[in-house]
Chains A and B, each alone.
Chain A
Amino acid sequence: MRTLEMIFAFSALLVGSVSALGQTPQLGQVLQDREIPFFARYIMPDGAGLPAGSGSATAGRRVWESRCASCHGATGSEGPIMPPVGPTATYAKSAGKYWPYATTLFDYIRRAMPFPSPKSLSDEDVYSVTAFILYRNGLIKENESIDANSLPRLAMPGRDNLTDLWAKQGEKPY
């Protein structure tokens, strides 16, 4: 099922064949690029989708204290909710050490944080808060600026520890 041949076979059929297209009702309306909201495009590990802007932990600390600290702790490791700085005695999956790609930090903060008012941070603020979390985990310097170019290049400690079970054995459970 998972062979490349299969994928190419049905993809070629779909792209090339008018009759294959004709089998669907063809009622979907054309979607223009400008109609796609930012949250509908997940930022990929290679940085595709990262917006312009930049930020550092120095700037991020101010945002952190007013928008993030009440749930995640004054410095990011206290919690009570899923502290991103760690790991801690109560939370093994701290985002900074555990998540394999720093792009996910930016994307998730931009779409979902702060929890009571998601999508209320500017892109600059999101870069800054991302930088603060990375700094607190010892991955960048406090005054180091991150942007669309540098964020995907950052080596995250969680990456080498990861096994992709789907790539290894498909649907077979561990």
Chain B
Amino acid sequence: MRQLMTRDNSMSPRGLLSRRGMMRGSLVAAGSTVAASLALVEEAKAEADIPSWLRVPGEPVRSYGQPAETEADVKRAPIQIYKDLAPAYGFSGTPLQKLRGTITPNGLHFEVHHGGRPLLNPVEHRLIIHGLVNRQLKFDVATLERYPMVTGVHFIECAGNSFFNAIFDEPKQLGCDMLHGLVSNSEWTGVPLRILLEEAAIKPDARWVIAIGNDAPNLARSIPIEKAMGDAVLALYQNGERVRPEQGYPMRVVLPGYQGNMNIKWVTSLQVTSRPAYTKDESGEYTDILADGKVLDFAFTMGVKSVITHPSGTMSMSGPGVYEISGLAWSGLGKVARVEVSTDEGNSWSDADLQKPVLDKAMTRFAIEWKWDGKPTTLLSRAHDEAGYVQPTRTAWKKRYAPSNYNHYNAIQAWRISSDGAVTNAHT
């Protein structure tokens, strides 16, 4: 945790500080804190020693950059629930607590694979469009490169993200990567699906598009025609470079705001139909069991959600004093309108600052300065979206679903801080 010193004494009763005052007071102090921590590492040396890298030329240019070697612990958190029995069925979570800003580096975008990452040949890969169309068409990658493309920053969140919190009444002591890491945020560039479907000339009774992947189980989902002809994109690029193999190389479907499973990776077929196919995932795993035992299908939109990433579970505070509480918020219904933060178990709330730009169906970074008095407390964040939805408490969320249900969990995350500074996962 970055600890800041301040001259600003304009503090609310619960220690939350006005950000403007904080920024004014902290600029000089922040710099000296960084210098001080570097000095700790190098304290055996005299300050005036000339370090080794100043006595030799640096490394030459390289064709593809890599993170600093000292950042090797910034990596995804893999979960293989069936271990060696089905190693290709697994997840890996984005280490949200080790990142700042809003864009997920491509190598850290979360994965959920139902049949592994295919080693497909991009030259042989085709996207075909068939079914209720007047012209059955096929496209290779080179042809799609000639089509008009659009770019948008959007989150993709697995419907089952945060499943540990959804299922277990005793909170699991894990970090944000394991607890909430099945969400990432990227700039996606590609061809609007609408253009390709227009070229295929869909018939009047076309109501659904079954998108099918070029992976071992040929994962398939039914997409309503309104979405396919709306903001759906056939993405070829992810943060400027080709879509990564883990995210669907050479092409994937991106459906802004919809559950991750529908954003078909390695997409190879668009089957236009009059009805949904009730594919395996929309028949089982991606349905919701409600409290009364009934089952909800085709719940596409990911609801408004937020999580404080700094500080968060498994971290330790470095003593009482001033901190920046920072986190991420998103909604599948549009822009994040407001994020409130509580540092007293929800007794009082203050609006955090939303960092610009606040984009549609994309992650927004929120932040608020806070002076921790060293006493045990609980931090909470509660996001609102422009459609008027607000994050529920865990208790309220659990009341609506069966105990085993974990999809669409978007309840408020609570982080308990003990007097010794340990930050732990808590349910409120």
Chain A contacts to B: CB under 8 angstroms: 1-2, 6-8, 10-12, 14-15, 20-21, 23-33, 35-36, 39-46, 70-71, 80-82, 92-93, 95, 98-101, 103-104, 107-108, 111-112, 115, 118, 158, 161-167, 171-174
Offer 23 A-B interface pairs, CB within 8 angstroms, sorted by A.
A7-B225, A7-B226, A12-B204, A24-B147, A24-B196, A25-B147, A30-B135, A36-B128, A36-B130, A40-B212, A42-B277, A45-B278, A80-B82, A92-B289, A98-B284, A99-B283, A112-B218, A118-B115, A161-B293, A171-B333, A173-B389, A173-B408, A174-B400
Q: Which of B198, B220, B284, B297 contacts A164 (CB 8 A)?
A: B297
Q: How far is the CA of A33 from the CA of B115 in the complex (A)?
A: 27
The 10 closest A-B pairs by CB, nearest first: A112-B217, A28-B137, A40-B269, A166-B298, A31-B136, A42-B277, A99-B283, A24-B199, A108-B280, A39-B218
Q: How far is the CA of A112 from the CA of B206 in the complex (A)?
A: 27
Contact A31 B130 (CB under 8 A): yes
Question: Among the listed stretches B33-41, B138-146, B243-251, B411-419, which one makes contact with chain A, having 4 or more residues with CB under 8 Å of it?
Answer: B138-146
Question: Among the listed stretches B7-15, B172-180, B299-307, which one makes contact with chain A, having 4 or more residues with CB under 8 Å of it?
Answer: B299-307
Contact B294 A2 (CB under 8 A): no
Q: How far is the CA of A71 from the CA of B53 in the complex (A)?
A: 55
Residues in A with CB closer than 8 Å to B130 are 31, 36, 40-41
| Known interface pairs A35-B128, A80-B82; A173-B204 also in contact (CB < 8 Å) | no
Q: Which of A40, A107, A167 contacts B298 (CB 8 A)?
A: A167
Chain B interface, DSSP helix/strand/loop, else mixed: loop
Q: Is B343 an interface residue (CB 8 A)?
A: no
Query: Closest chain A residue to B225 by CB distance?
Result: A7
Q: Is B273 an interface residue (CB 8 A)?
A: yes
Residues in A with CB closer than 8 Å to B283 are 95, 98-101, 104, 158
Q: How far is the CA of A155 from the CA of B85 in the complex (A)?
A: 33
The smallest beta-carbon distance between B216 and chain A, in angstroms, is 5
Contact A165 B299 (CB under 8 A): yes
- Convert B258-277 into 0s and 1s, putting 1 for each residue whose CB lies closer than 8 angstroms to a CB of A: 00000000001101010101
Query: Closest chain A residue to B81 by CB distance?
Result: A81
Residues in B with CB closer than 8 Å to A20 are 198
Q: How far is the CA of A26 from the CA of B287 in the complex (A)?
A: 38
| Known interface pairs A15-B201, A30-B136, A95-B284; A44-B273 also in contact (CB < 8 Å) | yes
Q: How far is the CA of A48 from the CA of B174 in the complex (A)?
A: 47
Contact B204 A11 (CB under 8 A): yes
Residue of A1, A27, A164, A167 with most partner-chain B CB within 10 A = A27
Q: Which of B202, B257, B268, B332 contacts A40 (CB 8 A)?
A: B268
| Known interface pairs A12-B204, A112-B115; A163-B294 also in contact (CB < 8 Å) | yes
Residues in A with CB closer than 8 Å to B298 are 164-167
The smallest beta-carbon distance between A34 and chain B, in angstroms, is 11
Q: How far is the CA of A24 from the CA of B295 in the complex (A)?
A: 41
**Interface members, chain B 302-326 (any A CB < 8 Å):** 302-303
Residues in B with CB closer than 8 Å to A108 are 217, 279-280
Residues in B with CB closer than 8 Å to A33 are 136
Q: What is the total number of residues of chain B having a CB less than 8 Å from a CB of chain A? A: 75
Residues in A with CB closer than 8 Å to B273 are 44
Q: How far is the CA of A60 from the CA of B146 in the complex (A)?
A: 49
Chain B contacts to A: CB under 8 angstroms: 82, 85-86, 88-89, 115, 128-131, 134-139, 143, 146-148, 195-196, 198-204, 206-207, 210, 212, 216-218, 220, 224-226, 229, 257, 268-269, 271, 273, 275, 277-280, 283-285, 287-289, 293-303, 332-333, 389, 400, 402, 404, 408
| Known interface pairs A25-B199, A81-B86; A42-B271 also in contact (CB < 8 Å) | yes
Residue of B203, B207, B287 with most partner-chain A CB within 10 A = B287
| Known interface pairs A28-B137, A28-B143, A39-B218; A115-B204 also in contact (CB < 8 Å) | no
Residues in A with CB closer than 8 Å to B278 are 45, 99-101, 103-104
Residues in B with CB closer than 8 Å to A107 are 277, 279-280
The smallest beta-carbon distance between B347 and chain A, in angstroms, is 28
Q: How far is the CA of A163 from the CA of B134 in the complex (A)?
A: 32
The smallest beta-carbon distance between B270 and chain A, in angstroms, is 9
Residues in B with CB closer than 8 Å to A167 are 298
Q: How far is the CA of A166 from the CA of B202 in the complex (A)?
A: 21
Q: Which of A43, A70, A165 contacts B296 (CB 8 A)?
A: A165
| Known interface pairs A31-B138, A42-B279, A112-B115; A173-B294 also in contact (CB < 8 Å) | no
Q: How far is the CA of A31 from the CA of B225 in the complex (A)?
A: 21
Contact B146 A27 (CB under 8 A): yes
Contact B198 A171 (CB under 8 A): no
Contact A115 B88 (CB under 8 A): yes
Query: Closest chain A residue to B114 by CB distance?
Result: A112
Contact B137 A71 (CB under 8 A): no
Residues in A with CB closer than 8 Å to B300 are 165-166, 171
Query: Closest chain B residue to A33 by CB distance?
Result: B136
The smallest beta-carbon distance between B278 and chain A, in angstroms, is 5
Query: Closest chain A residue to B217 by CB distance?
Result: A112
Q: Which of A36, A44, A98 contacts B277 (CB 8 A)?
A: A44
Q: How far is the CA of A95 from the CA of B210 in the complex (A)?
A: 21
Q: Which of B198, B295, B332 contacts A163 (CB 8 A)?
A: B295
